[in-house]
Amino acid sequence: MQFKNFLNGMSSAIEPVMKNKRAEQDEKFHLGAGVYITVTKDNPCVDIRKYWMNPPHQDESLPTKKGICLRPTEYDTLMKSCCKIEDLLPELKDEIPCYMNEDHQNQQGMLRCKMCNPDDYKNWL
């Protein structure tokens, strides 16, 4: 599911920024389970990183050391390899992102989802 979110995030949010070689504003896309793709306007790299909330009920999550920062050439190589990944793992083609599931048709469903709301989903059960 996160792979599909990754492909959607790259095509909708990150790809236009990388084509311009410079971001006009910071871009951040949620892949699920506290993992985000970010591109900042000061840095042309694509950062894929796990975030966490500390202390609880803080307004914004903080990045951890778990992640990778891809330079533009590394990003291009990864995007060219994504088609090959889907060919090698055919079960990925049938997977749909969790936000397209029936239980996500309202905000309550998203808030109860462990993937979409990893830091606060227990408060909505």
pLDDT in tens, 27-62: 888 888 899 999 888 888 899 999 987 776 677 888
Q: When comparing pLDDT for 16 and 21, which is higher?
A: 16
Say if 102 falls within a structural domain.
Answer: no
57 φ, ψ (degrees, to nearest 5): 65, 20
Which long-range CB contacts under 8 A does 108-111 form with residues at least 24 apart? none
Report pLDDT for 48.
Answer: 94
Domain count along the chain: 1
Q: State if pTM tops 0.85.
A: no
Inside any domain, residue 114: no
Residues 2 and 32 sit within 8 Å (Cβ to Cβ): yes
Any domain includes 25: yes
Instruction: Determine the structural domain holding residue 91 and report its residue range.
Output: 2-96
